[in-house]
């Protein structure tokens, strides 16, 4: 059974060795195998987080989720999709799922065991990839889902999960003996959510640590206006920070910035946690060059699910996510755009760090 949406599917592919090169490809409709479903990708979010997926595509296997070849790749996104064709007896036309999607019009999946909450894709190439990226959540049973918050979910659900895990990781390790926290690329959405969570925890538990920010001149006013950071400075003013014992959470991936921070703080530089690659062209060629510890969210999800129990982890995350959705609604806005006609510009602006930090890009197929 099928619902007609596209006779020819489209997808956006980037050159794996030169992210500024891209192409559109068409894919004629093909018959599904037994047990497969075809999903029309209604809409997805795009941010600097997706640029990080591209930069870590080889080392962390992100190109392997929706493989093309050794030259071209598809950047993964988080989105909502509707079943338009089903050869699976337990999945019906019109069912809607949140999950990991390509920058494309549709996706063919092979669901494994179908639960009320959703299913995992069991295509052979995905079975060796992190399970956190393979599950598709049925919106009718998804604890995170509300119709009104779809755009917020598309931008912040994966990012906030990383922020949530990061906050727990930092507190669990007592900031690696540091007194304060310094966050780079402080206007990035994952960084902002982390600052929000740290500030909330500090107020709740009467902690004394400070949350400091480094950002660009362009985003200085926004970052200052949030009220999550204690001190906000441009990269050029790094030298004006007091030399307290510091734990650095780096979202920039910029080796030069990492080195300058270490030089300024000297023996007070206690830990460098590597999270993102907003400044992707200035990243260290070898992780060892940064002398930092790479934070990998899927590994932390496993750890916390074991520590708190899966239900406990989900409950804590959902509650925290809902609170942040309300808090961020005062400054977070969304730009809804057509995928086929607007994505090239969104992609290039995000790649160059020029897409407004206070906006969330939502791309829809029509």
> Sign of dihedral through CA atoms 281, 285, 286, 291?
negative
Residue 184 has pLDDT above 90, yes or no: yes
Name the average pLDDT for the chain: 91
Three-state DSSP at 347 gives: helix
Tell me what the mean pLDDT of segment 184-193 comes to.
94
H or E segment and range at residue 132: none
- Which region among 169-178, 287-296, 306-315, 347-356 has the lowest average model confidence (pLDDT)? 287-296
Residue 287 has pLDDT above 80, yes or no: no
The band of 299, judged by pLDDT with boundaries at 50, 70 and 90, is confident
The pLDDT tens digits of the residues spanning 130-161 come to: 888 999 999 999 999 999 999 999 999 989 99
Side-chain-facing half-sphere of 7: CA atoms under 13 Å: 0
The band of 112, judged by pLDDT with boundaries at 50, 70 and 90, is very high
The band of 294, judged by pLDDT with boundaries at 50, 70 and 90, is confident
Pick the closest to residue 163 from 287, 289, 325 (CA basis).
Answer: 325
Q: What percent of the chain has pLDDT over 70?
A: 94
Predicted confidence at residue 60, as pLDDT, reads 85
Tell me what the mean pLDDT of segment 289-306 comes to.
81
Sheet with 8-15, side-by-side order of all strands: 18-28, 8-15, 72-73
The pLDDT tens digits of the residues spanning 35-83 come to: 999 999 999 999 988 998 998 888 889 999 999 999 999 999 999 999 9
Predicted confidence at residue 284, as pLDDT, reads 45
Cross-strand pairs, 362: 45, 336
Assign residue 46 a region (left: φ > 0; alpha: ψ between -120 and 50; beta: otherwise): beta
Q: How far apart are CA 66 and CA 125, in angstroms?
A: 9
Residue 282 has pLDDT above 50, yes or no: no
- The answer to whether 162 and 197 have CB atoms below 8 angstroms apart is no
Q: Residues 215, 220, 221, CA angle at the centre, nearest 5°?
A: 155
The band of 5, judged by pLDDT with boundaries at 50, 70 and 90, is low
Residue 365 has pLDDT above 60, yes or no: yes
The band of 253, judged by pLDDT with boundaries at 50, 70 and 90, is confident
User: What domains are there in the chain, each with its CATH number?
Assistant: 8-142+332-364 (3.90.180.10), 159-298 (3.40.50.720)
Assign residue 206 a region (left: φ > 0; alpha: ψ between -120 and 50; beta: otherwise): left
The two beta strands, 8-15 and 18-28, are antiparallel
Helices 48-55, 150-172: inter-axial angle, 10-degree rounding: 60
Tell me what the mean pLDDT of segment 286-290 comes to.
47
Three-state DSSP at 12 gives: strand
Predicted confidence at residue 288, as pLDDT, reads 46
Tell me what the mean pLDDT of segment 337-352 comes to.
95
């Amino acid at each position: 059974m099928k619902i007609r949406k596209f006779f020819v599917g489209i997808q956006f592919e980037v050159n794996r060795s030169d992210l500024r090169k891209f192409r559109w490809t068409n894919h004629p409709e093909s018959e599904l195998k037994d047990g497969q479903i075809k999903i029309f990708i209604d809409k997805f979010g795009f941010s600097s987080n997706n640029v990080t997926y591209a930069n870590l595509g080889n080392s962390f296997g992100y190109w392997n989720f929706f493989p093309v070849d050794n030259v071209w790749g598809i950047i993964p996104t988080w989105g909502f999709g509707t079943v338009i064709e089903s050869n699976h007896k337990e999945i019906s036309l019109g069912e809607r799922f949140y999950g990991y999607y390509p920058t494309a019009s549709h996706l063919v999946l092979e669901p494994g065991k179908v639960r009320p909450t959703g299913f995992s894709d069991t295509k052979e190439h995905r079975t060796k990839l992190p399970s956190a990226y393979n599950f598709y959540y049925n919106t009718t049973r998804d604890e995170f889902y509300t119709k009104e918050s779809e755009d917020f979910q598309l931008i912040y659900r994966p990012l906030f999960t990383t922020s949530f895990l990061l906050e727990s990781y930092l507190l669990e390790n007592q900031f690696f003996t540091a007194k304060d926290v310094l966050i780079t690329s402080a206007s990035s959405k994952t960084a902002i959510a982390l600052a929000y969570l740290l500030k909330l925890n500090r107020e709740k538990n009467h902690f004394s640590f400070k949350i400091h920010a480094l950002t660009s001149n362009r985003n200085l006013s926004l970052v200052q206006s949030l009220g999550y950071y204690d001190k906000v400075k441009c990269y050029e003013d790094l030298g004006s920070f007091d030399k307290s014992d510091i734990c650095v959470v780096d979202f920039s991936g910029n080796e030069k910035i990492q080195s300058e921070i270490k030089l300024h703080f000297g023996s007070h530089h206690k830990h460098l946690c590597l999270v993102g690659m907003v400044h992707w062209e200035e990243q260290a060629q070898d992780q060892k060059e940064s002398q930092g510890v790479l934070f990998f969210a899927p590994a932390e999800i496993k750890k916390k699910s074991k520590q708190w129990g899966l239900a406990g982890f989900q409950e804590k995350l959902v509650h925290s996510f809902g609170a942040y959705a309300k808090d961020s609604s005062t400054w977070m806005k969304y730009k809804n755009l057509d995928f086929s006609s607007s994505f090239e510009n969104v992609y290039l602006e995000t790649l160059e760090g020029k897409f407004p930090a206070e906006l969330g890009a939502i791309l829809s197929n029509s």
